[in-house]
Amino acid sequence: MKKIYILYIFFVVLITSCSITRTERDVYTITLRDTTKLEEQKNAPGARDNGVIYPSSRVFDSQRTITQRDSVVERYYPDFIRLGVFESVGFFFSGESDHALGNGMFGIFPDLNFIRDNYIGDSNAVFKGGLYRFGIYEQRLRWFRDAKDWTYGTSVLEVIAPDARLEKTLASVFPLYIRKRYFLRDEIPYITFTPSFGLGYFPSQYINISGSIDVGSLGGLNLRAYLGLAAGTNMSSSLLIRWSNKKDKESQTSIFPYFGIGISFLDFHNRVVETEIEWKDHEHSSWDIGFVQAALLSTGADSSFLASPGEKSFLSGFLIKFLNADVAIPVLNNGFFAGTSLLNFMVLGKNQWGAGILPVRVGYWHTLIPDELSVEPFLEFNYFPSSFINIGAKLNLRINNTMNTSIHLGYANGTTDLVFDKKTFNDFTIKNEFSRYYLGIGISFIDNIFFPEQLRYFKR
């Protein structure tokens, strides 16, 4: 109980120290001085004796006023070196080859046919294990007389799996990391070499020493190559031990080197000099970056996914995409883009659906009304676990910096062919083909649409 209490205090201190925006205020006293002068000529009526000098009839009136008021000017700056939502790495080598996890490229393309409760690995899999981080944050570490590019940080959850055996997996909430970046390229997209040292505390106790070559960030997308060594222990009371399939629930030690390639989404990086640039003056590389996009679709399907079996409905399906980025391509007028999502799920009707991990999307972005209305025709290819194309166009209405509405019009064609483990899913098999036109209305959350004056290509 005492350990949990200390851990709770540590979490509270860590979370409260995380800041995204730094606000600087300048307070001025504004003084206004004003002088009013009035000159009036008063001539007495009647005749005058011009031979006698009279006193001047002019009257002068001068009034001087002083008004003072306070003025506060606020400026907003980014207050982080790194802020990310999700990072995934697929290991080429890490644990025992007989128990390879088989999680595919970047650690996000698993072989779905091996999903079962007693899965302990596939000896033929190329990717042996993986590393996963959720909710990443790094702040500047002012070591060595304020030397640049040192950082300390954490993530909400980190999981390092050398292979498919759960008892060998190392995991920690809010692990502590120290990193040093060496910039091989100091222009966007940045290329850095990043050695790091990490310490996990709960539920596994471990250290993680690694070096990585990082390329990014464009639209929050980053590519990395990792080489490292992780060593730690899962105590017998750990949930990882309890959930494992081993009958022996004793503490497990895990020591393994690893090498892999990874990708991260909505993962933004700042150089030290960029933390001194106001938010409004930052350069952007994408037309659209967002957390989730969703839409309700009308496809004319005989059976609606959203209605009772056999019942036809105008709204027969839906579309949802997670962790999206459409990166501007600096050719011609910079309107072309290439994009992707972590997950794309499209339902056109009952038993007519497809899913795509890391789909490839290309299109053209055109602004109709500055700061408000834009249109994006696109072609999207989904290749895993379903294979389908999606040709369409979106009309986007920007509500604010984090929310948008949209109208969708398009055509989707493809197949889904999945076979799952018999014991786990009762020989659950998914095979469907679909070819549908669709019309939909959508909404996007934590989704920022940019306009030409905000993209760095238009500032050159």
- The answer to whether residue 37 is domain-embedded is no
* 79/282 Cα distance (integer angstroms): 13
What contacts 24+ positions apart, CB below 8 Å, involve 391-399? 392/438, 394/442, 396/288, 396/449, 397/372, 397/373, 398/371, 398/372, 398/373, 398/374, 398/449
Other CB atoms closer than 10 Å to residue 405's CB: what's the count?
14
What digits encode the pLDDT tens for the residues 432-453? 899 999 999 999 999 999 999 8
Residues 114 and 183 reside in one and the same domain: yes
Place of tokens 């494992």: 244
Q: Domain of 205?
A: 78-275
* Helices (H) then strands (E): counts for the chain: 3, 22
Note whether 363 and 328 are same-domain residues. yes
On whether the CB atoms of residues 295 and 314 are closer than 8 A, the answer is no
Both structure tokens of 275: 């933390």
My answer on whether 254 and 366 are in the same domain is no
Which of 227, 246, 275 terminates a domain? The answer is 275
Domain harbouring 432, CATH code = 2.40.160
Residues 332 and 455 in one domain: yes
Token readout for 409 is 């019009």
Q: How many domains does the chain have?
A: 2
In a domain, 405, yes or no: yes
Mean pLDDT rounded to a whole number for the chain: 86
Residue 87's CB is within 10 A of a number of other CB atoms, namely 23
Q: Based on the fold, state whether residues 264 and 347 are members of the same structural domain.
A: no
39-48: per-residue pLDDT in tens?
766 665 665 5
Domain identity same for 195 and 329 = no
pLDDT given at position 146: 85
User: What's the confidence (pLDDT) of residue 32?
Assistant: 81
- One domain for residues 289 and 268: no
Where the chain has pLDDT below 50, the residues are 1, 422, 424-428
Nearest to 372 by CA among 424, 449, 445: 449
For residues 266 and 322, membership in a common domain is answered with: no
245 and 319 both lie in a single domain: no
Q: Classify residue 116: in a domain, yes or no.
A: yes
Is 317 part of any domain?
Answer: yes
Residue 7 lies in a domain: no
Strand partners, 63: 36
Residue that finishes a domain, picked among 275, 307, 340: 275
Please state, as a whole number, how many other Cβ atoms lie within 10 Å of the Cβ of residue 443. Answer: 15
Q: Which residues on adjacent β-strands are paired with residue 75?
A: 24
Which one of 224, 254, 275 terminates a domain? 275
Residue-level pLDDT at 243: 60
